[in-house]
Amino acid sequence: MFDSLSDRLGGIFDGLKRKGALKEAHVTEALREVRVALLEADVALPVVKDFVAKVKEKAIGQEVLKSVTPGQQVIKIVNDELVAMLGAEQSGLNLLGVPPVAVLMVGLQGSGKTTSTAKIAKRLTEKDGKKVLMASLDVRRPAAQEQLKILGEQTGVKTLPIIAGQQPVEIAKRAMEAGRLQGFDVVMLDTAGRLHVDASLMAEVIAVRDATSPLETILVADSLTGQDAVNVAKEFDAQVGITGVALTRMDGDGRGGAALSMRAVTGKPIKFAGTGEKMEALEDFHPERVASRILG
Ligand code: GDP
C-alpha cells in the first residue's frame, strides 16, 4: 500500500532533513517535488494543489524555518495535512437505530461488493457481537446470491434464504422483516452492480434504499481504478447518497490516488480498506495510521 509514494516522499524529506538550516527556497523546491509525487500517485489535481498550498503556508512561517529541526517540522506539517486530507475524524459504522439497522452495500460489478459485505458482517459479528443477517439482492448475476450464501457459511454469518424469482425490493423487504422477527441487529443488503453507472442501476438502488431506510450506505470501490473510483463515489453520492466508502484491493495499490483523493473530493470518509481476498483482510481506515504509513 502506498509503496511508491512512500519511497518518493521519503527521499524528498531525507533531503530536507540533511540540510539542517532551511531556507524558504528549499521548502518551495521540496514541495514542488511533493506535488509531482502526489500527481504521479494519481491524486486528483485540485486535492494536490490545495494540499501543497496549505503545507506551504504553514511551513514558511518564521518559527518553522528558524527552529532547531526545520526539516522535522515540515514533515510534521505534511503529516498533519495528510491526516486532514484523509478525514481527521474516526469513522466506524453508525448502527445507532432501532434494530434491525439496514446497511446498504452499493457499487459497480467486480468492485468487491459481495466480498466486502461478508467481511464487514464477519467483523460486526465477531468484534462487535452483533447479530447480523446478510441478503443478496443481485438477481441479475445468476451465481451472486449463491456466492453470498457460501461466504455466509464460511464466516458463520446468517444469510437470508434464497427464493427464486423475487425482485430486489421484495428481497430487501423480506430481509428486514426476517431481521425484525428473528431479532437481528443489522441487516446487510448486497445490491447488484453493473459495469458502469447507469440509470437502471441507480433506480434499483434508490428503490431498495427507500424500502429499507439504511443508516449506512457504503460505496464499495476498487482502489486500483484510481480516479475512476472517486468519480463513481461522487456519482453514487449525488444520486443515492452514501455515508462512506469501502476501498478494496488496497493490497495491490502501490499508488494510493483513490485513497488519498476520496475524502477531499467526495466529502465522504473511507470507512474500510480491503487488503486481500480472505475474509480477514479488512482494515478500519485510520487517517493517522495511513499518514504515518505513507511517511514511513
Ligand atoms: P462484486 O461483483 O462487487 O460483488 O465483487 P466480488 O466481491 O465478487 O469480488 C470480485 C473479486 O475481487 C473476487 O475475486 C474477490 O476475492 C476480489 N477481492 C475483493 N476485495 C478484494 C481485496 O480487498 N483485495 C483483493 N486482492 N481482492 C479482492
Eight-state DSSP code of residue 61: S
Specify the ligand 1 atom closest to the Cα of 281.
23
> Residue 19's pLDDT band (boundaries 50, 70, 90)?
confident
Give me the pLDDT at residue 16, please: 86
Considering only CA atoms, which residue is closest to atom 14 of ligand 1? 277
Which residues sit with their C-beta closer than 6 Å to ligand 1?
Answer: 107, 109-115, 193, 248-249, 251-252, 274-277, 281
- Of residues 226, 187, 229, the one with CA closest to residue 208: 187
Q: Of 61-65, 172-176, 196-200, 207-211, which range is least confident?
A: 61-65
165: confidence class by pLDDT, cuts 50, 70, 90: very high
Closest ligand 1 atom to Cα of 109: 2
Whether the Cβ atoms of residue 100 and residue 160 lie closer than 8 Å to each other: no
Torsion of CA 9, 14, 19, 21, to 10 degrees: 70
Using the mean position of ligand 1's atoms as its centre, give its distance from the Cα of residue 277 in Å: 6
Q: Is 151 annotated as belonging to a binding site?
A: no
Query: pLDDT exceeding 70 applies to what percent of the chain?
Result: 100
Higher local confidence (pLDDT), 79 or 21: 79
Average pLDDT estimate for 37-58? 95
In this structure, the residue with its CA closest to atom 27 of ligand 1 is 277
State the average pLDDT over residues 106-130.
Answer: 97
| Torsion sign over Cα 265, 268, 269, 270 | negative
CA 141 remoteness from chain centre: 25
In this structure, what C-alpha cell is assigned to residue 295? 511517511
**Taking 90 as the threshold, does the pLDDT of residue 267 lie above it?**
yes
Strands of 143-229, DSSP E: 158-159, 186-190, 216-222
- In the numeric block, the cell 445507532 is attached to 96
Cell numbers for 175, please give them.
430481509
The pLDDT, as a whole number, for residue 166 is 96
Q: At residue 177, what is the residue type? A: E
Q: Can you tell me the distance from the alpha carbon of 152 to that of 135, in angstroms, rounded to the nearest whole number?
A: 10
Per-residue pLDDT at 68: 83
Beta-bridge partners for 222:
248
Which residue did the predictor score with more confidence, 64 or 239? Answer: 239
pLDDT of residue 101: 98
Q: Is the pLDDT of residue 34 over 90?
A: yes
Of the candidates 22, 188, 174, the residue with the CA atom closest to the CA atom of residue 101: 188
β 270-274/282-284 pair status: antiparallel
The answer, yes or no, to whether residue 204 has pLDDT greater than 90, is yes
Pocket test for ligand 1, best of 151, 277, 284 (most atoms within 8 A of CB): 277
User: At residue 152, what is the residue type?
Assistant: G
Q: DSSP class of residue 274?
A: E
**The model's pTM:** 0.95
| Mean pLDDT score, 49-77 | 89
pLDDT above 80 for 126: yes
Residue 88: is its pLDDT beyond 80? no
pLDDT at 6: 92
28 among the known binding-site residues?
A: no
| Residue 18: predicted pLDDT | 85
Greatest C-alpha distance within the chain = 72
Strand-pairing partners, residue 247, are: 221, 273
Nearest residue (by CA) to ligand 1, atom 19, is 112
Q: What is the mean pLDDT of residues 228-235?
A: 97
- Residue 156 annotated as part of some ligand binding site: no
> b/e string for 105-118 if b means 16 or more Cβ within 10 A?
bbbbbebbbbbbbb
Output the CA 110–ligand 1 centroid distance in Å.
Answer: 6
Q: Which residues pair with 60 in a beta bridge?
A: none
Give nearest CA residue, ligand 1 atom 15.
Answer: 277
Residue 225 CA to ligand 1 center (angstroms) comes to 13
